[in-house]
Amino acid sequence: MTAIGDHAPAFALPDTEGIMHEPGNAPATVVVFTCNHCPYALAWHERIVGVARDYADRGVQVLAVNPNDAERYPRDSPEAMRVRVETGEFEDVPYLYDESQRVARAYGAKATPDVFVLDAAGVLRYRGAPDADHGDPAQNAAFVRGALDAVLDGRDPNPVETPPVGCSIKWKS
């Protein structure tokens, strides 16, 4: 489990085209554990994509990772991921498949969504929900944006951690 101030675990995971992605080589990186079937993940999805869009010119990298057991939850299968990507739901955000669930376990992810913001050195600087209310689009992923602004300006985020809110990660039995 990764705590605030720890170096986040390195990983390389495939997107829906099989291209490998890894965090790093960016002034800040957002790793968001998400999925297809969870209403919380879906409710927050456009706000996460909006973060990627709005911070692209500052070099921020956003990686979406689906860690769920696709056998028990077929809606979270790689095929279903590909359909969402092909319909443009992720714009330029790579949608990665954590089939072994090792990355989710290494990060200590609990839910979808669960957001981790890393600085340029790969140190975890924020972890938790995208913002305070999945039902209010005006919140606009304020926790993530605030954390990115802080990291990019060399400050500590406030808050540094919030409870993740969403569907439990569907671990393999």
Partner 1 sequence: MRVELLFWEGCPSHPKALAELRKAMVDVALDPSTIVVREVETQSEAALERFVGSPTIRIDDVDVQPPGEEPVGLTCRVYHRRDGRISPTPDPADVRDALLAARTATTERK
- Residues 47, 125, 127, 134: which binds partner 1 (CB under 8 A)? 134
Identify whether the C-beta of residue 33 lies closer than 8 Å to the C-beta of residue 112.
yes
Closest contact distance (angstroms) between CB of 38 and partner 1 is 6
Residues ≥6 apart with Cβ < 8 Å to 108: 1, 2
User: Which residue from 3, 87, 88, 135 is in contact with partner 1, where contact means CB under 8 A?
Assistant: 135
Q: Which of 105, 137, 139, 161 binds partner 1 (CB under 8 A)?
A: 137
Q: How many CB atoms lie within 10 A of CB 77?
A: 16
Query: 123 - beta bridge partners?
Result: 7
Of 110 and 125, the one with the shorter C-beta distance to partner 1 is 110
Q: Smallest distance, Å, CB 28 to partner 1?
A: 27
The span from the CA of 48 to the CA of 141, in Å, is: 7
The nearest distance, CB 75 to partner 1, in angstroms, is 8
Using CB under 8 A as the criterion, what x/- string covers residues 49-78 for binding partner 1?
------------------------x-----
User: Are 113 and 33 spatial neighbours (Cβ–Cβ below 8 Å)?
Assistant: yes
Retrieve residue 116's tokens.
Answer: 């981790």
Positive/negative CA dihedral, 170, 17, 83, 74: negative
Asked if 40 is part of the footprint of partner 1 (rule: CB under 8 A), the reply reads yes
Q: How far is CA 159 from the centre of its chain?
A: 17
Segment interacting with partner 1, rule: CB under 8 A, options 32-40, 57-65, 119-127, 146-154: 32-40
Contacts with partner 1, residue ranges (CB under 8 A): 37-40, 42-43, 73, 134-135, 137, 165-168
